Amino acid sequence: MVLLLFVDLDPDLAALRPLGGFFVLRTLRPAAGDPEAMRINELPSLAKAYEKITSDVYGNVLTFRVGVVSGRLRAPELRVAASIAHQGLAARLWSVALGCAARYGRLPDLDPGLLRWDAGAGAPDDLRLTEVRPLPGDAGPDTLADAVVHGHLEPLAEAVRARYNIAAGLLWGNAASALAGAARELERWARADGRPEAAERTRAAVDALFGHPLLRDTGIGTGPAFRRRSCCLYYRVPGGGVCGDCCFTQPPCSSPRAASG
């Protein structure tokens, strides 16, 4: 039996900081006249990334993010950059949610409208939460799934598929890989810090999440033992290779569309 520890969410979510950059979620409490706080307050909400294509597609925050990733990695195709950008954001969302579950036993409201996204920045400065508003109940698997899978990953996958023609299987493989990676890092911290109960809670939650209909067929195993059935396409980046949980053991030599789903 895994006992949940309930701790009040502090206004700065400071308990996430020892976990490392991907787990940190900075909060937005602008001081009067602070230009940096004013700039962050003007950033688009993450909900803007999930909007449907319009004639102003080049002004969309997701399009901008993919362009940034493409330039940094010298990706040969936008769809490659889109997949990697998608997995990176999924990793941030899972890390924040699992970190809160482990450290507080509850989640703040992670509604896309409450999260500001600096699409040109890297973790942990890419996401800011405008209001720390605790969700009711504990941070069990159902709460985590509602907050991350349904609140973010479904609309994000729909937006990426519509703009970059990436197979759903690849995107949900990215989401599962990001979940497994976040769980590994959190369990590693918990054991190194002498918090076996946090590692146990994380393992139980992640095992349950991999039973979700959108995640259960994405690979074999859960958590540290996960191997996905798809490929994020990172091997197509100059100097890239296959990831530790990839379906391939070495970069494929087939067509550029290999591993699209």
- Considering its fold, how many domains does the chain have in total? 1
**What's the pTM?**
0.91
Instruction: Give the least confident one: 24-38, 77-91, 117-131, 178-192.
Output: 24-38
Angle between helices 196-209 and 78-103 (to 10 degrees): 130
**Residue 230 covered by a domain:** yes
Give the percent of the chain with pLDDT over 70.
88
**Residue 47 covered by a domain:** no
pLDDT of residue 259: 44
**Residue 60 covered by a domain:** no
Query: What is the strand order of the sheet 127-129 is part of?
Result: 26-27, 127-129, 115-117
**Residue 140 covered by a domain:** yes
Q: What is the mean pLDDT of the chain?
A: 89
**Residue 97 covered by a domain:** yes
Q: Is the dihedral of CA 70, 73, 76, 79 positive or negative?
A: negative
**Residue 101 covered by a domain:** yes
Range of the domain at 224: 65-114+132-236
**Residue 6 covered by a domain:** no
Contact residues for 244 (Cβ-Cβ < 8 A; gap 6+):
none
How many Å apart are CA 34 and CA 7, to the nearest integer?
Answer: 31
pLDDT digits (tens, 9 = 90+) for 14-71: 999 999 999 999 997 655 566 666 677 788 999 999 987 655 555 689 999 999 999 9
**Residue 161 covered by a domain:** yes
> For the chain, how many residues are written?
261
Strand partners, 129: 27, 115
Instruction: Give the least confident one: 76-80, 129-133, 198-202, 251-255.
Output: 251-255
Query: In this structure, what token pair is assigned to residue 242?
Result: 């296959």
